[in-house]
Amino acid sequence: MNTTELLIGLCPVIGWGFFPTVASKIGGRPVHQIFGTTLGAFIFALIVAVATKTAIPTGSDLVLSIVSGIGWALAQILTFQSFALVGSSKALPVTTAFQLMGASLWDVLFLGNWPSTSERILGGMALILIIIGVTLTVWMKKRNQESTNIMKKAILILALGEIGYLTYSAAPQATNIDGMTAFLPQTMGMLFVALIYSAVVSLKGRRVFTERVSYGNIVSGFLFAFAALTYLISAQPNMNGLATGFVLSQVCVVVGTLTGISFLKQPKTKKEMHVTIVGLGLILFAAALTVIG
């Protein structure tokens, strides 16, 4: 791997790593965050499509791409809600782990990956390590019943969100559309959900479309879209390839968790910090095993 390939492979880490921290720092309710994020992602994708002269797909390719974006937006609304409950530094490792497990199980059950016994063993070990890693990242030295219940609620919300994230990844696999062509329609689906959600909330008295914090979160959308685009580039066979590109992108969980702790006043004790780092390391190692498997 040369320097250019490495730098491109790490670009998704910057975008996806800082995305939850920036969205949380800009603030607002989940409705503000999803509206600004999806609007920013759509603007970014539209600029890329025009600059690269990428045509909008038609027929089932268009529908599945939009459905993919709808799945992501629904999941991200739940993820933003979990951020509000426990903070991004605790929620991010959990949602990353759910996505890794969901993608792995989808590959095994529906795509026929891990056909050999050795691959299944490695894959099973990876899933166990993910569970252990997540348990470590949310561990607290002192906890009461209230904090425990809040964490359980956040984990349940993130588990439900995995359905949407899996739709985001799986829908394009039902056709032969490439990632670059699906990019703009996906953001159209994302924005569609955000507009409906924002309109419903606005009817209840909150002026989502006119509040400044909604448009401040466009920056978050730029970060997400930048990460998604550079991941597509990194995963190309003539660059890092899908396996290596995927593993590199998972480093975002470390960046997102540590920046959440540092910049969002989500402190941990020294012991909690050590345990969290071990947990993050296990999640990354598990990601590598899923690729090997």
More confident residue, 182 or 206: 182
Rg from Cα positions in the chain? 19
Segment 40-51 mean pLDDT: 97
Is 1 a residue whose pLDDT tops 70? no
Compute the average pLDDT of residues 245-262. Answer: 85
Contact 284, 251 (CB under 8 A): yes
Question: Distance between CA atoms of 77 and 205, rounded to whole angstroms?
Answer: 19
In angstroms, how far is CA 283 from the centroid of its own chain?
Answer: 15
Write out the two tokens for 29. Answer: 């309710």
pTM of the model: 0.88
Mean pLDDT, all residues of the chain: 88
Q: Give the pLDDT mean for 218-232.
A: 94
Q: Examine the pLDDT at 107 and tell me if it is beyond 80.
A: no
Burial pattern 32-46, b for ≥16 Cβ within 10 A else e, equals bbbbbbbbbbbbbbe
On the question of pLDDT at 36 being above 70, the answer is yes
Q: What is the pLDDT of residues 258-291, one digit of tens each?
A: 898 888 887 788 899 999 999 999 988 887 776 6
Q: Which residues contact 77 (CB under 8 A, 6 or more apart)?
A: 30, 31, 34, 193, 197
According to the model, what pLDDT value does residue 112 have?
64
Where exactly are the structural domains of the chain? Answer: 9-292
Contact 186, 65 (CB under 8 A): yes
Report the pLDDT averaged over residues 214-233: 94
For residues 282 and 238, is the Cβ–Cβ distance under 8 A? no
% of residues, the chain, pLDDT over 70:
95
Which is nearest to 284 in space by CA: 245, 242, 253, 241? 253
